[in-house]
Structure 1
Amino acid sequence: MVNKKRCTIAVIGAGMLGSSVARGWVKENCTVIAYDKDRQKVESLEELGICYEESNEAIARADVVVFALKPHIQLPVVASLAQNLTNKLCFSMAAGIRLEQLAEAAPHARWIRGMTNICAAVNAAFTAYTPSENVTEEDMKKTKLLFGLLGESEETAEPNLDAITGISGSGPAYMFTVLEALTYGGLRVGIPKDLALKASAATMIGAAKLVLETGKHPAELKDGVVTPGGTTIEGLYELEEGAVRASFIRAIAEATRRGKELGEQKTNKKK
């Protein structure tokens, strides 16, 4: 059985995503080491018990190495550290970067390609992941444990990960936009900003929890709130007039397209 307290994780890249997963794991009593070329990014993490090490030292100490870098620098950094990654279990969190590209950059590592989001910082992320062929059964147990500590997680086929990037990786930004809009709606009808924000955020959490715990389709739950001639149908009519659902569908389609494009750009540059 994998013991999270005995698992040392090196996070390479302490930007928004890297710092979020580091925060989530350290809250669960994992040992976390972080490296970023900008030393100041790690300083805010050190007060949480996350140690700073240079990349080579961090990798040497780690059981799992997590690369949370921008797509355009992920493969060059991995390739530069390839010798240190031999026989290491490595997680890649970069949009669009495929397992075959990772294996080419560091062929003696065991790769998991994943996508999570910044909600990992509060252990409420959704993480989807795909293992490479050389990942062991013990690696998979460790992967399931560690991603499970960050929130909900699920293994999936690699072609799904670009879409998961569009839905879940980028998703918090969409939800923050909705939350901001609901809050401004409250302001427009005259309630205090703090009250509007709290009511909006709690409602968003509650609605999501209801979907996950009941297993019901969102449309079914929505119809349960709508009554003839009531307040909800008036609000929904305005949302339909504004093509809100179509806008979200287009947003996810475009984010997915861009994720695929980022991986293809890395491939084309090498040809």
Structure 2
Amino acid sequence: MKKCNIGCIGCGVMGGALIRAIAKVVPASDIYLFDTDAAKMESLAKELGANTAKNGCDVATKADYLLLAVKPAYVDSVLADITAVVPQNEMPLFVSIAAGVKLEKLKKAALTKARFVRLMPNIPALVGEAMIALTHESDVSADEVAEVKELLSKAGSVECVPENLMDCVTGVSGSGPAYGFVFIEALADAAVKLGMPRKQAYVYAAQTLKGAAAMVLETGKHPAALKDDVCSPGGTTIAGVAALEEYGFRHAVIQAAVAATERSAELGKK
């Protein structure tokens, strides 16, 4: 990848996860961090060997690509501060992970002086297994999109989607790991109830879900076909699947994703 400087405003869990991944692609000496929580910023900078900045404007003047990893409520003020100081011809390409905040709103907050890529990552970026959706303005070039995807390559898989799917992505993959954690915890609780030690139960439950996901991705088979393959007539697995259906498991998962999607859309209107 060609040499470029990377900025990050917001060193929280997701911002930190993505910057740690980016630090595996570009030298940490080319990364500039800012967070209003100075201790958090200093800790991440020390961990990576990255640079710290005085404020968001300082980051923006140094960066070619700027990861905007602040909460949606702070996006307007951060962009207003930057656009008031940084000339348009010196603006970095902003890469926003603010949930629900659409490109149009980002552009308006920046007084149309900046260009934007919008991401919806998820927390498995911490272990390099994220599913990251990317959408962008029409004036962002194909080369720039390719560079953003390369920067994120160590965080997980990156796919471009139309912006009208970003709320859906938020409900499915953005929030999806939490649904998986709940399932793993419940399966482990069942194992403990049935006599398995707690620590061992978490390993069995987590590895089982990991293996099932790998089969879907690697075989290309429909999940229903994979389920059918392991449900022998009158067997143990079909008995368990029938219980899931009886207690509304499938409906609960669908409604969870719908609720998260609707919340993402609500955030985008504020």
Q: TM-score, normalised by structure 2?
A: 0.91
Query: Counterparts of 2:99 and 2:34 in 1: how far apart (Å)?
Result: 20
Query: Counterparts of 1:172 and 1:72 in 2: how far apart (Å)?
Result: 23
Q: Aligned match of 2:264 in 259, 262, 267?
A: 259
In the TM superposition, residue 28 of structure 1 has moved relative to its aligned partner by 4.0
What is the percentage of aligned positions where both structures have the same residue? 40
State the AA in 1 paired with 2:93: L
Q: Structure 1: where are the runs of 5+ without partners?
A: 266-271
Q: 1:215 to 1:259 in 2, by over 3 A?
A: same
In the TM superposition, residue 152 of structure 1 has moved relative to its aligned partner by 0.8
Q: 1:63 to 1:244 in 2, by over 3 A?
A: same
Q: 1:257 to 1:85 in 2, by over 3 A?
A: farther
Deviates more, 1:85-94 or 1:228-237: 85-94
In the TM superposition, residue 79 of structure 1 has moved relative to its aligned partner by 1.8
**In the alignment, what sits opposite 1:16?**
13
Query: Counterparts of 2:87 and 2:187 in 1: how far apart (Å)?
Result: 47
**In the alignment, what sits opposite 1:52?**
52
Query: Counterparts of 2:39 and 2:232 in 1: how far apart (Å)?
Result: 54
Aligned residue runs from structure 1 range 218-237, under 5 A? 218-237=223-242
Aligned residue runs from structure 1 range 203-214, under 5 A? 203-214=208-219
Q: How many residues align?
A: 262
Query: Counterparts of 1:182 and 1:76 in 2: how far apart (Å)?
Result: 44
Please say if 1:216 is aligned against 2:221: yes
Q: Is the 8 A contact 1:23 1:120 kept in 2?
A: no
Q: Is the 8 A contact 2:22 2:152 kept in 1?
A: no
Query: Counterparts of 2:231 and 2:33 in 1: how far apart (Å)?
Result: 49
Q: Is the 8 A contact 2:11 2:40 kept in 1?
A: yes
The alignment yields a C-alpha RMSD, in angstroms, of 1.6
Q: 1:29 to 1:196 in 2, by over 3 A?
A: farther
Deviation sequence 1:80-99 (CA, Å, 0-9, x none):
21243733111111111111
Q: Structure 2: where are the runs of 5+ without partners?
A: none
**In the alignment, what sits opposite 1:170?**
175
In the TM superposition, residue 137 of structure 1 has moved relative to its aligned partner by 2.7
Query: Counterparts of 1:7 and 1:152 in 2: how far apart (Å)?
Result: 22
Q: Is the 8 A contact 2:57 2:82 kept in 1?
A: yes
Q: Aligned match of 1:84 in 83, 86, 90?
A: 86
Query: Counterparts of 2:27 and 2:109 in 1: how far apart (Å)?
Result: 28
State the AA in 2 paired with 1:56: C
In the TM superposition, residue 30 of structure 1 has moved relative to its aligned partner by 4.5
Query: Counterparts of 1:85 and 1:214 in 2: how far apart (Å)?
Result: 51
Deviation sequence 1:156-179 (CA, Å, 0-9, x none):
100000110111111111111111
Deviation sequence 1:202-226 (CA, Å, 0-9, x none):
1111111111111111111111111
Query: Counterparts of 1:203 and 1:28 in 2: how far apart (Å)?
Result: 31
Query: Counterparts of 1:165 and 1:212 in 2: how far apart (Å)?
Result: 20
Aligned residue runs from structure 1 range 42-191, under 5 A? 42-45=41-44, 46-54=46-54, 55-82=56-83, 83-84=85-86, 86=88, 87-106=91-110, 107-191=112-196
Query: Counterparts of 1:190 and 1:166 in 2: how far apart (Å)?
Result: 35
In the TM superposition, residue 25 of structure 1 has moved relative to its aligned partner by 1.9
**In the alignment, what sits opposite 2:35?**
36
Q: Which runs of 4+ in 1 moved over 6 A?
A: none
State the AA in 2 paired with 1:20: A
**In the alignment, what sits opposite 2:254?**
249
State the AA in 1 paired with 2:243: E
Q: 1:200 to 1:51 in 2, by over 3 A?
A: farther
Q: TM-score, normalised by structure 1?
A: 0.91
Query: Counterparts of 2:240 and 2:186 in 1: how far apart (Å)?
Result: 13
In the TM superposition, residue 190 of structure 1 has moved relative to its aligned partner by 0.6
